[in-house]
Amino acid sequence: MGRAVDLSVVIPVFGCAPCLEPLYERLRIELDALGSSHEIVFVDDGTRDGSGSILSRLANAHPHVRVHRLADNAGQHAAIVAGLARARGDLVAVMDCDLQHPPEALSRFVTAAQGGVDLVLGVRDADRQPNIRWLASRGFRRTLGSFRRFPNQHAYGTFSVLSRRAVEAYLGHRDAGKGYLMVLDRLELAFTLVDYRHGERHAGRSAYTLPRLVRHAMNSKWNTRRLAAIVAAALALLACAASLGWLLIVGAVVGH
């Protein structure tokens, strides 16, 4: 894997080519201010918008920038797994590529992680997210089921910092790649929460359209169980309704 560094920043990349250079510049300033050894691991998630050439240019110009390319668009969670598997940091941050996770907040996450916890999870302010998108995200999470350990009243993203222990535990989980937050919630890790102001999207639009959210939900092991229970309950209700309807019909006929 190469020489370890103090901090790795893993960034899945898809549909945000115009964001990459501003993201790098803002992140570079923040990382330099931290004063620790670091690397930035961009994961090209099968992009077709010119992101690949921008990432190559950044990697060629800056030794601390590394790029891993996925052959096809595997999705954000698979890209996070690929990035975590290649990160060399004692601490590993995960951020989105669209600048909605402000690089200027990273130092607070790192400081919290240095306090002895294995996971620092960002809590975003919901008022910065469009209502429809926020409601869709909440509905998606409710479909998957409530968190077991994380407080359910907060709005979370993937903005987080993991210890090396947490990275290894996550990568060793059989469902790594199916749902980042849901897997982290099931690991016995000491965690803390850090508030941040959810930034405006610099360019492009979210890859998580409603159909994609539905597909992601369907791919989740936990949701498969829940979906089976919902289907079974719906079938039972339909059966009861059909039986009741039949009894009403028979009663009406007999009554005549």
In whole angstroms, what is the distance from residue 162 CA to residue 201 CA? 24
d(Cα 79, Cα 169) in Å, to the nearest integer? 17
- My answer on whether 102 and 138 are in the same domain is yes
Interatomic CA distance for residues 160 and 13, integer angstroms: 16
Q: Are residues 249 and 155 in the same domain?
A: no
Q: Do 119 and 229 reside in the same domain of the chain?
A: no
Q: Which domain holds residue 229?
A: 220-256
- Are 199 and 229 part of one and the same domain? no
Domain assignment present for residue 215? The answer is no
Same domain, 21 and 51: yes
**pTM for this structure?**
0.76
Tell me, yes or no, whether 225 and 203 share the same domain.
Answer: no
121 falls within a domain: yes
Burial of 253 (0-12, 13-18, 19+ CB in 10 A): exposed
Paired tokens of 83? 């990035």
Asked whether residue 212 is assigned to any structural domain, the reply reads no
In tens digits, the chain (256 residues) has pLDDT values of: 667 999 999 999 999 999 999 999 999 999 999 999 999 999 999 999 999 999 999 999 999 999 999 999 999 999 999 999 999 999 999 999 999 999 999 999 999 999 999 999 999 885 555 545 445 555 555 555 578 899 988 889 899 999 999 999 999 999 998 899 999 999 999 999 999 998 876 555 545 444 444 454 445 444 545 544 444 555 656 666 666 666 666 566 556 5
